[in-house]
Amino acid sequence: MTFNQDTIAAQSTAAGKGAIHIIRLSGSDAIPVCDKIFKAKKSLAETPSRYATFGKIYTDKQLIDEVLVTVFRAPESYTGEDMVEISCHGNQYIAAQILENILQFARIAEPGEFTQRAFINNKLDLTQAEAVGDLLSASTRFAHKIAIDQMDGRLKQKISSILEIITKIRIGLELEIDFPEDYQDSICIEEISLEISRLKTDLEMLVASGRDGVILRDGYRVSLIGSPNVGKSSIFNALLESERAIVTPVPGTTRDYLEEAIALSGFLIIFYDTAGLRDTEDPLEKMGIARSMNIIEKSDLVIYVTDSQQQDSEIDKLQEVVKKKKLLKVINKTDIISSSLINKYLQQEYIPCSTVLKGGLEKLKAAILQEINIRPEEFDIPPLTNTRQIAAARKALEELQRFEDTLKSEGSVEFLAFDLLQVSKALEEITGVITTDDILDKIFSSYCIGK
């Protein structure tokens, strides 16, 4: 996406019927372009900023709709440019007619271009711009919370506070390089070492927050695996509270994985009902089992389900397959299994489960939440929420470690200053002070048109 300063327009509300539709314009000609088709007692050129004006939109003297038009003058607008928002009746034909006439004098906006302009015009930093997209897709209260906090600039403030300390130390080192006689013995190594140690702890916590942030944003992935006919699909349906998976007494009914998401105690949990793992000659079932193994690799948690009919060798084999994943063991169908047999499985740390008994899934749900082990209300700052931010924070931490090693080995002041400069550059990648067009294209192209 190549940024330029021409005037863009797009429908910002979803297509279809509703109370209103909003058409948005941004750019130096946004106000005069709208004035070409809008008629009211005053022209928009005479209208104060942030003021809604009632009027009518015409094309070739044909009335299209009665509308409210709000003017936002630069720089006090979402994009930092002159903006106009047209609120018309929520008929898709009307909205399309208005936009069609506007596009005689402007061009259609690319996905995310309004937010990209807000970033380029310093209305948002890159963490805030990414949070806009996260807010639009947030489907749980915790995902909403971290998006709101990040959009409010709390992550930006934390990064800025670290950068401020790094810059202060670096300037002192660079003065020592440029004016060695004036600043001789002015650097206190002990104080710098202590400050860097504190910053290192902050960065370590920031990097560690990435795991929680990605889960809160994208969801926690859970695979249900086990032999055919142990009740995986029944558990899957019960968790979803719907008949999503076909349940029959015939082994191998599930030939491919099913994927659905639920909100559990404020977390987005993505469940996968996988094909039963067993030796088979059925080519379709073999393909399903292969896909199951692929899903297991991508999961945060694997839940092994048995109904007490499997051999011990099966779970031993499975633990070897998923040795790098956290594994929960579930004994299903406890409504029809004897108490003595259930106790035997409980002693082996199996979780009892039944899709028939009232509350039969509660212990399983509690175990899943315990594995997530996130308390969003305890975050002092919003966590990092995507691989771009996490990679940049890790790079900053590596460079800070390099500085610390140079400091301990009594390296030259020039090397120390260079190491801190690399730390700053890595942190500035998070906020977007230093970035590339390719990264911007990838971020904003995932947004809807009109945002």
pLDDT, tens digit, for every residue of 230-267? 888 888 888 887 544 333 343 444 445 688 888 888 89
Average pLDDT taken over every residue of the chain: 84
The answer, yes or no, to whether residue 394 has pLDDT greater than 90, is yes
Q: Do residues 75 and 88 make contact, with C-beta atoms less than 8 angstroms apart?
A: no
Closest listed residue to residue 422, CA positions, set 437, 406, 410: 406
Say what the pLDDT of residue 409 is.
85
- Which three-class secondary structure state does DSSP give residue 25? strand
CA distances (Å), origin 242, targets 43, 239, 333, 357: 55, 8, 18, 16
**pLDDT category, 30, cuts 50, 70, 90?**
very high
pLDDT digits (tens, 9 = 90+) for 61-98: 889 999 999 999 999 999 999 999 999 999 999 999 99
Q: Does the model's pTM come out above 0.85?
A: no
CA 217/CA 64 separation, integer angstroms = 41
Give the C-alpha separation, 289 to 13, whole Å. Answer: 42
pLDDT above 70 as % of the chain: 82
Work out the percent of the chain whose per-residue pLDDT is above 90.
49
Lowest-confidence pick of 86-95, 134-143, 247-256, 332-341: 247-256
What's residue 61's pLDDT?
A: 80
Q: How far is CA 297 from the centre of its chain?
A: 21
Domains of the chain (ranges, CATH numbers): 8-123 (3.30.1360.120), 132-215+381-432 (1.20.120.430), 219-354 (3.40.50.300)
What does the pLDDT read at residue 289? 63
| Spatial separation of the C-alpha atoms in residues 364 and 384, rounded to whole Å | 29
User: Do residues 228 and 285 make contact, with C-beta atoms less than 8 angstroms apart?
Assistant: no
Confidence of residue 288 (pLDDT cuts 50, 70, 90): low
151, amino acid identity: M
Give the count of beta carbons closer than 10 Å to the beta carbon of residue 85.
Answer: 20
Is residue 166 pLDDT above 50, yes or no?
Answer: yes
pLDDT value at residue 285: 56
Q: How far apart are CA 298 and CA 222, in angstroms?
A: 9
Cα–Cα nearest to 165, from 126, 192, 204: 192
Interval 308-318: pLDDT, tens = 776 556 666 66
Contact status, residue 104 vs residue 435, Cβ threshold 8 Å: no
